[in-house]
Amino acid sequence: MTAPINGTVAPPALYTVEQLELIRRLRNSGISREDVANAFDTFDRLDRELGPVYNIPVTLVSSALFTNC
């Protein structure tokens, strides 16, 4: 359970199997929590500067590639 905020208990975070696998692989790679946070900050900065270049869902990119064949 997560720490109480303003006297209420936040529900536990729910992750997909793919997200858990990614987190496990990141942890096993030796990357630190700070490095992951810095990477998120970098993506946020890039999104502000360049627009949502990295926010296109993989499924949309994959289907767009196949529809152009």
Instruction: Note the pLDDT tens digit of each residue in 9-39.
Output: 777 888 899 999 999 999 999 999 999 999 9
Task: Answer whether 36's CB lies under 8 Å from 43's CB.
Answer: no
Residue 43 lies in a domain: yes
Structural domain tally of the chain? Answer: 1
Residues 6+ apart with CB under 8 A from 13: 2
Q: Is residue 11 part of a domain?
A: no
pTM given for the model: 0.54
With contact defined as beta carbons under 8 Å apart, do 12 and 1 qualify?
yes
What pLDDT is attached to residue 31? 94
Residue 26 vs residues 2, 33, 58, 66: alpha-carbon distances, Å: 22, 9, 19, 30
Residue 26 domain-assigned (yes or no) = yes
Tell me whether residue 9 is in a domain: no
DSSP bridge partners of 4: 9
Q: Which domain holds residue 28?
A: 16-67
